[in-house]
Structure 1
């Protein structure tokens, strides 16, 4: 929430700031208005600068458009149109009520920022990140099944930071039974982070009563299906926007076969095993021409490992082919 200081091109005074903290909580506009009130500031005539078009519907919270109009905001600048048809229309209503509206400011950067949140509205499923922690020759475990630890403590701390930012972490029953993972987000010294994602297990096999996934450190959901499309639809219905899939090779292959992976998180360790478990089981690619193509972001050193994030690409063949 900002107020102009002098000419329109001059810097604007920040009156209040806010962001959406999660499902059922105040949206960014309402949080910013509340912050301004807490500072004792009247925002009548001010400008609201927001990432997403203010919503125009009642869900778990009321319409942000109503809050802005009730506060007397005179101008709204936003980056991205709301992709949810049920919530869209805020810009039109604001303009009809006499508010000046500008859209498209830093649209590309904002779209990147909210890509995980917007995916359920666009595709009816969560944004899917597939995590692979592997050796230089593509193995996630040695021939005898040992896999702790392929990557370094620095890399594992990075991975826990990612866990803390997603809504759910998913594995198959094979990984759950073989590794007995906790799937919690923790600090480097092992303490639980304040926010814990939903732990999801895909498959029909029963988890033992002693499994770490059955403790009370974070909620657990077992989806007794091997249909990853159905599983993702169920997660979307539970308001899960971003799911991190951590294993195993069979689940990874099923997701890739269904073409529902949005990004890859690859933690590459400087090890060679020769034999061992491949990161991904076969998923239907029989020739190089059928290979799925991805685009790397800049690599991030996590000494001695390297973190690579790869995005889906529509380019069917490598450049220069």
Structure 2
């Protein structure tokens, strides 16, 4: 029944004029759409790189025994996980109006350094900063969960072998934690790709959804342009899913390997006779 419903939907959609398939074929490889798809990919990559690095720092701060550092990290996560991404992007779009300059100096004196925040008027930079700061809050929890999944005895054993803290993290803890970190991180990358459509709040209109929306406003073909944008999103998502699969396979080596039971292990070492072979008691009885 499900297959019949799927076939019925495909046939009906192919014959329905409201989808405007002729416009889909016209704009799917349009230069404006292709350039906008590249902008969306750049937003995703830059935001994820910054978000992962900042999230790693926040995860270490959450695990720190220092109560001040731990409280600051918790406050950051509380703010950025507790407010909508759209609201945060709107705020960062207005940030240069609130703080056109930042002055760092000695209180009640003129000694200090002034920083001009004119670069915050660049919509692309604002979009990357806004998306990265929001993503860092979620990556911090993912990294923290991965680090906590490694047994404490692993770190103690590495310390007993004379490894430094850095060697222990790089050679022992992080490789084991990656098995837990990679799956949710891959989901976050895919989610970030789709979240870039919210940068219209800044406003940034050169991303994939923004350009498709602008073209549809001129040609009065919103549905075909939405299909075009969806096809590009699906293409990027499929590539990311394939990459995530191979990364998970790489870091999960030996985890789910089948272990032989005691009987198979004894048979392999010759401790037990093979099936159907007479043992010593049988030989003695026949003698």
Q: Where on the TM-score scale, by shorter chain, does this alignment land: which range?
A: under 0.3
Structure having the larger proportion of residues in strand: 1
The TM-score, its normalising length taken from structure 2, stands at 0.24
Larger of the two Rg values belongs to structure:
2
The TM-score, its normalising length taken from structure 1, stands at 0.22
Larger relative contact order, structure 1 or 2 (CA cutoff 8 Å, min sep 6): 2
